[in-house]
Structure 1
Amino acid sequence: MTEQTPSRTGRHEAGAPERDTTRPDGSDAGGTRTAWQRLARAGRPRPTKANVLATVLALGLGFAIAAQVRQTSIEGLEDLREDELIRILDSVDQDGNRLAQEIQELQQSRDRLQNDSTSLSEARGAAQQRLDSLGILAGTVPAKGPGIVITINDPKNAVTAPLLLDTLQELRDAGAEAIEINGIRVVVNTYFTDGEGGIAVSGKDVSAPYVITAIGDAQTLASAMQIPGGVTNSVRSLGGEAVIDTQESVTVSALQTVSEPQYARPVPSPSSS
């Protein structure tokens, strides 16, 4: 009879000698290996679509991380050569110089604007001061300052328009800057006339007592009124009285309405060549 060989299934044909798989402790070695193999097969995931997709995503993520790390490593200064570092340093210096120049230009622009604003403010202040001065001279604005108040009493109605005009001229010669008579502002075109009803100042009738308020150096103005042969002596000679009151602050509040000149026109200033 021929000897039979074992089949590929691990089983033995009849008449073939059997291998002894019994361990010294009595356990079966073949059974143990089979159990481990079954356990390994049970823990191995089945190749489903979800598992395949997760694997692909994991591989893609790993590749992206590796590429990013490599790029970061390339961009890091620690991996650059000396000439590359020098080139980067030169670029940084150029950027710093450019920014410093821009800062300087901005500061110069700021200074120019501040100077222009200061000049403009000073010009406006000077213009306003000039306007105020012209307003005082023209009688269009009130004025306040040291001065005198002259009260001329005329019980005999002997005071004439020429005497009041002389009083005005004496005050101007003494430096009076603003004057009013009985509530009428005295300006460059103010005139005095005698009429049947008394004295008229620029066409407005006034009567005694004549109260004249003048702004200027008070002592100088008072002295001008009291000189020999001056206003005080002239009023006294007519039977009247001129009382002079020196004050630290007087107010000329009467205003003059400025009319448009009918004939006079300003002469243009010659342009500089």
Structure 2
Amino acid sequence: MPDEASPEETSPEETNTGGTAGAATTTPPTAPRLTWRRMLSDLVRPSRAQAFMAIVLCLLTTAIIWQVRVRSADDTYAGMRRADLVQILDQLNANATKLRQDIANEEAAQRDLQSGADSRKVAQEKANARLKELQVLAGTVAATGPGIVITVVDPEHQVTGDMVLDAVEEMRDAGAEAVDVNGVRVVAQTWFGGSAGAVTVNGAPLQPPYVITVIGEPHALEEGARFRGGLVSQVQAPQVGARVDISTRDSVEITSTTQPKQPRFAQPTR
């Protein structure tokens, strides 16, 4: 019949009114406000969960830092070429061989002194040999022996005192026993300074080309100079524009000497 309303035509208001009359309207709970006082209270008196999380984060941070340091240490050799690693191994083997020979010589001298057979003569010879070694190291006498001559040509005047110092240190690491730079004997008290194009040694200016004469095992010295990141790589970089020539020789003579200085502070221990 036309007066009957179908269920679909029932208004929403009538439907809601029929079953929910008098029901209370509910609202979603609101999150508690995070105030500075509450944050300060949590910091002063943390809960067990907060303390546990702090310990976990601390351990995790420590592990990450340790891993980064280990990775950095490994990268020192991980990025090197095979030829560079072979050079390092050759230098270590040469140093080990020299140390073994020195130990053998010292043990032989000790046996001669303890045997009692002409021990006074042996002691005198040993003292004289040691004196000559110290004189060479101190730079008070001329020296000769196998070695190399390094010539650094600096047309752009970009070589600095630090570069020359690095070259000398590399030669010492490679087993140099005597070093001369442009006629100046390099000893423990020698110092280099100056900016690009104004290199000085002991305060006196050095003029290019810089000639570094070194006495030692020629192969080890040359490899020490050509080692990646060493003298050749540093000086021949595009921003410097210098050139390095290395000459290996069976006999090198260093005639420059230096006068030892009386120490002001250090005294021998009795």
What is the TM-score when the length of structure 1 is the normalising length? 0.54
Q: Could you tell me which of 235, 244, 247 is aligned with 1:245?
A: 247
- Deviation per residue, 1:65-93 (Å, 9 max, x gap): xxxxxxxxxxxxxxxxxxxxxxxxxxxxx
Alpha-carbon distance, 1:235 to partner: 1.1
Whole-angstrom distance in 2 between the partners of 1:153 and 1:129: 38
CA drift of 1:116 comes to: 7.8
Whole-Å separation in 2 of the counterparts to 1:149 and 1:141: 19
Q: Which has the larger radius of gyration?
A: 1
* 2:145 corresponds to 1:152: no
Per the TM alignment, residue 245 of structure 1 is displaced from its structure 2 partner at its CA by: 0.3
CA–CA distance in structure 2, aligned partners of residues 230 and 259 of structure 1: 32
1:195 is displaced (CA, Å) by 6.1
Q: Provide the rounded CA distance (Å) in 2 between the counterparts of 1:229 and 1:116.
A: 53
CA contact (8 A) 1:150 1:243 kept: yes
Q: What is the count of residue pairs matched by the alignment?
A: 154
Q: What corresponds to 1:130 in structure 2?
A: 130
Q: Give the C-alpha shift of residue 174 in structure 1.
A: 0.4
- With structure 2 as the length reference, what TM-score do the two structures score? 0.55
Q: Tell me, yes or no, if the aligned pair for 2:180 and 2:256 is still in contact at 8 Å.
A: yes
Residue 262 of structure 2 corresponds to 260
Aligned sequence identity (%): 40
Contact 1:197–1:205 at 8 Å: present in 2 too? no
How far did residue 196 of structure 1 move?
9.3
Q: Which residue of 1 aligns with 2:210?
A: 210
Distance of 1:257 and 1:213 partners within structure 2: 19
**Runs of 4+ off more than 4 Å:** none
Question: What is the alpha-carbon root mean square deviation over aligned residues?
Answer: 1.8
1:53-202 → structure 2 map (5 Å cutoff): 118-194=118-194, 198-202=198-202
* CA shift in 2, pair 1:196/1:224, >3 Å: closer
Aligned-pair distance for 1:117?
Answer: 8.8
Structure 2: segments with no counterpart, 5+ residues: 1-114
- Return the alpha-carbon distance in structure 1 between the equivalents of residues 166 and 248 of structure 2: 20
CA contact (8 A) 1:150 1:244 kept: yes
Indicate the SS of the match to 2:185. strand
Structure 1 segments unaligned to the other structure (5+ residues): 1-114, 269-273
